[in-house]
Amino acid sequence: MYNFKQPFYTIYVYELSAGEIWVNDVPLLRWMGPQTKDGMYNGAIPINNAVLQNGTHELTCKLKPRYDYKTFNKSESQDIYDIGFDCREVSDLRTKIQIAPNIENPYGKWNEQEQRFINETLKDLPEYITKTKFEVTELPFVLDGWQNSVDVSKIKEEELFKEVLSSYYQIHAIMNSHNAAKFLELSKEKMKLQEQAFYFSEDQKKGFLNEVTKLFDQKLEIMPLDPTKLRLDIMGYGKLVRLVRLDGSAALQFKSPDPKNQGNIEFDTKLHMKTENQGLSII
């Protein structure tokens, strides 16, 4: 799907027990829920659409307790909690960001008697956050994205929540009617950004449109929006905003067509305000 002949940056996560990965205050990975009971997340996260241009950028890892735990307790604060990054190159894939030596890991001390790591650093914490900087140098573009958008963090929270909720109701209604064309029209800014960031060919653009249409054609039931069970999430250093459910999952979700084997289909919908007169739009 991607064009690896152009500079294509990723951050390779080889070990994440539970948590989130953010770049420039924008969430790119959320590894939470029942899937965190066992095992680790492993994979490359594309970041061209988050860094937007060459320069110094910030990586944030928010390590969370595994499923069914609210904090890292003493018995669990050991080697089963981990963050790991690697620098890998596959063919023309330019994963040239060296993270491993620069990020602080919550490794515990080895207990010879118990033959395991014990990490008092994590004990009773609900979250462990670690940050580092990295450089991107070879991108052939500067994408505007949300960089010059209105700082919505300066808007009163109650007022902003109402405005964001109104936008979400509009999107929710379109998803509920399974109108793929209208949904794609609302998403055109985001689509253009993705196409530029990842060098989409015409065939790739058509392929994406077809996938969205196929999904909407399944006529899946959409989860209801209850304002009392949603919270406001301001990101991108104040330039982005979204609504999430109280458990951190996306506000907009299609119910799973196969609940036993697959979770709900989530739409992580970020909004920005290009100018105060234009109002909120998907980006």
Asked if 85 and 52 count as a contact pair (C-beta separation under 8 A), the reply is: no
3-state secondary structure of 162: helix
Q: Nearest 5°: phi and psi at 56?
A: -95, 130
CA distance 105 to 216: 41
Tell me which amino acid residue 249 is. S
Per-residue pLDDT tens over the stretch 67-94: 888 887 655 444 456 666 665 555 555 5
Question: Could you give the angle at which helices 188-197 and 202-217 cross, rounded to 10 degrees?
Answer: 140
Q: What is the pLDDT of residue 88?
A: 55
**Can you read off the two tokens belonging to residue 86?**
């690697």
Tell me which amino acid residue 145 is. G
Q: Where are the beta strands (DSSP E) in 53-115?
A: 55-63, 83-86, 109-111
Give CA angle at 269 (131, 207), nearest 5°: 105
Mean pLDDT, 10 residues at a time, the chain of 283 residues: 71 85 96 85 90 94 88 58 61 58 63 66 83 88 97 98 98 98 98 96 95 98 98 98 96 95 94 95 98
Q: What is the pLDDT of residue 4?
A: 56
CA distance 232 to 237: 14
